[in-house]
Amino acid sequence: MIGPYQLDPAEALRWSRDQLPVFYAETLGYWVVTRYDDIKAVFRDGILFSPRNVLEKITPATPEAMEVLKSYGYAMNRTMVNEDEPAHMERRRALMDHFIPANLEHHQEMVRRLTREKMDAFIDEGRVDLVESLLYEVPLNVALHFLGVPEDEIAVLRNFSVAHSVNTWGKPTDEQQIAITHDVGQFWQHAGTVIEKMKAEPEGTGWMHETIRKNAEMPLMERLQADHSGHLSLQIKDDGARADLTTIVAALPEGGQIYCCGPERMITATACCRAANGPQTIA
């Protein structure tokens, strides 16, 4: 069924911002927030508004669909998208360089080229569905280029991405789920192959290349975040900021223990802060 939003998204959002800026959508099972300042407030409060359910399927998988995914070794779990604080911000700081405006400048020509190619394909038709012909594929292609996906893999991953979107946010029937989860499983396996290709390109310039390099530099970060969330302070060298060791150590409970891993000067400074703050022990 096509509703007001599908017919005229801009007008539906304008009405909602004016008349009902926050509402519960029965068809989605979600609260919808439409005003910019409210959305910003939600994103900035990771405690009250946890992202942990962001990748949960709108339509629960049937047991048969789960078996299909299992047969492909599918193991989607925690990512930057559905990761709670403080782990999310620590990982984000380590990987944010590609998002700095100065580092995004060189993507402009690529974005223009992809947009021109799509517009040239329909410019003489007189009427076009912009979402279908432009606003779906161009952002997706830009994202794949930004990630550093090899040119010969972009078309394959683009096609698989439809199945992944329907699997997560769609409402397929039980029968449709089987076919979709086969596509999702193939997407999962093929994505693994692409990652291996990117690992073989140590000088690659995409964001995924940088992520792979950072993971090699900090191989225990994932495990530490998983095992000690809420009790872990990471200092990323590339941030350019100094760790506030005095505050970190002072916040420890009496008898608390510190495990410090890093340059000798940081370990020495941590030991000095510990000595000034009482009976904590340091390893």
User: pLDDT for 195-209, tens place per residue?
Assistant: 999 988 888 889 999
Name the packing angle between helices 151-169 and 137-147 (round to 10°): 120
**pLDDT tens, N- to C-terminus, the chain (283 residues):** 457 777 888 898 999 999 999 999 887 788 999 999 999 999 888 888 888 888 888 888 899 999 999 999 888 777 778 888 777 777 788 888 889 999 899 899 999 999 999 999 998 888 888 888 888 889 989 999 999 998 888 888 888 888 888 888 888 899 999 999 999 999 999 988 999 999 888 888 899 999 888 877 765 566 666 666 666 666 655 555 566 777 777 777 777 777 777 677 778 887 887 777 655 444 4
Q: Which of 199, 228, 239 is closest to 216 using CA atoms?
A: 199
Q: Which of 264, 69, 22, 33 is closest to 183 using CA atoms?
A: 69
Tokens 């692409």 belong to residue: 194
List the domain boundaries for the chain. 1-44, 61-214, 242-282
Contact 267/260 with Cβ under 8 angstroms? yes
Ranges of H-type helices in the chain: 4-7, 9-19, 36-44, 63-71, 87-94, 101-104, 108-122, 130, 137-147, 151-169, 174-199, 207-217, 221-228, 245-250, 264-276
Whole-model pTM?
Answer: 0.68
Q: CA separation (Å) from 142 to 43, 132, 235?
A: 24, 16, 31
Q: Which of 192, 120, 184, 110 is closest to 153 using CA atoms?
A: 192
Rounded to whole angstroms, how far apart are CA atoms 156 and 267? 48
Rounded to whole angstroms, how far apart are CA atoms 129 and 271? 64
Q: Into which CATH architecture does domain 61-214 fall? A: Orthogonal Bundle (1.10)
Residue 18: partners with Cβ closer than 8 Å, 6 or more residues away: none
Q: How many Cβ atoms are within 10 Å of 228's Cβ, its own excluded?
A: 12
